[in-house]
């Protein structure tokens, strides 16, 4: 029996954050009924066509769900949502600010009608305050949270290469719902969860926030290097490939000098003997390191680092990660069905004894509409009428 088997989640979701959260719930065995717009569906379906014609974002966030299309501006079809919520455990949405309330699915209304329902609302900036009606996309929230200011090179700030704000928010939606389900076991009552992208990413900004807020200084951008520890970052080797390495303490510094650089005398050099000194003199130390590395291939450098027990990594491209030998060795890939055939998908990162994650098909738009409507008691005549009118 899977952990969330028997739990039903109804989600009016789009883009990344909430779909990412509900996919985690589906992985654990929850039934996720995804409500999409008639005609176009979740706009993330159309971000790109890189996965055999399907969007990479949609493939990532939507396996194991059931898709039902509804025109939620129509009064008749709104009753479908009410019917679904009568027996649901969780309702979650990330519509534009105020949209759920205008449709009649605001938290105050739902918690009165369904006292055991867990209601999750994700917004960009929260339901109160001067930014409550402001549109929020991942890049823009990265800017507002200060992430862009600490990412990139000294001269050029940069966004994170993945949807960091969406992912942060999605994970707090996911963990919040799990917490609420656990609480309901004790109290028998549902609850209302409010998560904002700004506050979720803000939690991830803890270190730079404490640093800047208390020192009065902004953290510096150092590209792929660490801002305060050295050597910690990328170094070019003789084969023009890049190896990353990181030192954490003086014991490792000694091993690095002796085994990797073959210059044990540097261990107690007054210019480099502490991390603070190495950080102050990083340009000089970098020139010493890269002079040694220039005579070695990246594989030879990694061999020396492994011998010295110094943490290291190759600079992989994404296609290298897609074929990473460690993932292959651990059997971390599984084929998932979809409207365009089988798609190679990563298994969920948590491995739990006695439990196999759900990894069912990625749904076509509206694939389960008629089936769900029949299951929830709507008559064939009504279903056909709505279909002819383009309402489902």
Tens of pLDDT, residue by residue over 230-287, are: 999 999 999 999 999 999 999 999 999 999 999 999 999 999 999 999 999 999 999 9
Indicate the pLDDT class of residue 68, thresholds 50, 70 and 90: very high
Class (C level, CATH) for 232-315: alpha beta
Q: Would you say residue 97 has pLDDT above 90? A: no
Position 37 pLDDT exceeds 90: yes
Report the pLDDT value the prediction gives residue 293, as an integer from 0 to 100.
97
What's the confidence (pLDDT) of residue 57? 95
pLDDT at 225: 85
Express each pLDDT in 336-368 by its tens digit.
999 999 999 999 999 988 889 999 999 999 999
Asked if residue 117 lies in contact with residue 111, where contact means CB atoms within 8 angstroms, the answer is yes
Q: For 131-143, how does the pLDDT look when each residue is reduced to its tens digit (9 = 90+)?
A: 999 989 999 999 9
Instruction: Please give the pLDDT value at position 184.
Output: 96
Residue 166, pLDDT > 90, answer yes
Q: Residue 75's pLDDT is what?
A: 87
pLDDT greater than 90 at residue 98: no
Average pLDDT for 99-121: 94
Instruction: Kindly tell me if the per-residue pLDDT of 223 is higher than 90.
Output: no
Quick one: pLDDT band at residue 1, thresholds 50, 70, 90? confident
Does residue 115 surpass a pLDDT of 90? yes
Mean of the pLDDT values across residues 60-76? 94
Residue 183 pLDDT grade (very low, low, confident, very high; cuts 50, 70, 90): very high
Mean pLDDT of the residues in the chain: 94
Looking at the chain, the domain(s) classified CATH 3.30.1540.10 span 232-315
Instruction: Please name every residue paired with 232 in a beta bridge, in sequence order, or none if there are none.
Output: 246
pLDDT at 327: 94
Fold classification of 8-204+334-388 is Rossmann fold (3.40.50)
- CATH 3.40.50.10540 domain position(s) in the chain: 8-204+334-388
Using the predicted structure, report yes or no on whether residue 220 has a pLDDT greater than 90. Answer: no
């Amino acid at each position: 029996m899977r952990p969330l088997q028997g739990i039903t989640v109804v989600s009016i979701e789009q883009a990344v954050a909430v779909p990412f959260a509900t996919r985690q719930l589906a992985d654990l065995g929850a039934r996720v009924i995804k409500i999409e717009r008639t005609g176009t569906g979740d706009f993330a379906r159309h971000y790109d066509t890189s996965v055999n014609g399907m969007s990479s974002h949609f493939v990532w966030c939507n396996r194991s769900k059931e898709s039902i299309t509804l025109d939620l501006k129509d009064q008749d079809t709104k009753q479908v949502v009410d019917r679904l919520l009568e027996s649901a455990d969780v309702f979650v949405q990330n519509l534009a600010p105020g949209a759920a309330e205008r449709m009649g699915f605001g938290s105050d209304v739902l918690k009165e009608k369904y006292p055991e329902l867990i209601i999750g609302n994700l917004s960009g900036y929260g339901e109160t305050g001067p930014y409550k009606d402001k549109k929020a996309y991942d890049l823009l929230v990265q800017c507002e949270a200060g992430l862009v200011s600490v990412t990139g090179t000294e001269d050029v700030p940069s966004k994170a290469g993945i949807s960091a704000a969406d992912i942060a928010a999605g994970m707090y939606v996911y963990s919040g719902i799990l917490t609420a389900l656990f609480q309901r076991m004790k109290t028998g009552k549902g609850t209302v969860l409010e998560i904002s992208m700004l506050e979720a990413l803000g939690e991830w900004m803890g270190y730079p926030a404490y640093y800047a807020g208390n020192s009065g200084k902004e953290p510096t951008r150092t590209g792929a290097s660490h801002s305060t520890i050295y050597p910690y970052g990328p170094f070019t080797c003789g084969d023009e490939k890049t190896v990353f390495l990181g030192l954490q303490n003086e014991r490792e510094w000694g091993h690095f000098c002796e085994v990797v650089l073959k210059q044990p005398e540097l261990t107690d050099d007054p210019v480099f003997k502490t991390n603070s000194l190495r950080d102050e003199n990083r340009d000089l130390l970098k020139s010493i390191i890269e002079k040694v590395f220039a005579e070695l291939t990246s594989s030879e450098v990694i061999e020396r680092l492994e011998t010295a027990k110094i943490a290291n990594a190759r600079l992989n491209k994404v296609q290298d990660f897609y074929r990473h030998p460690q993932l292959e060795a651990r059997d971390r890939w599984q084929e998932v069905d979809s409207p365009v055939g089988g798609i190679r998908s990563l298994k969920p990162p948590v491995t739990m004894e006695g439990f196999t994650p759900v990894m069912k098909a990625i749904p076509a738009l509206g694939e389960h509409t008629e089936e769900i409507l029949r299951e929830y008691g709507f008559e064939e005549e009504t279903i056909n009428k709505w279909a002819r009118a383009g309402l489902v």
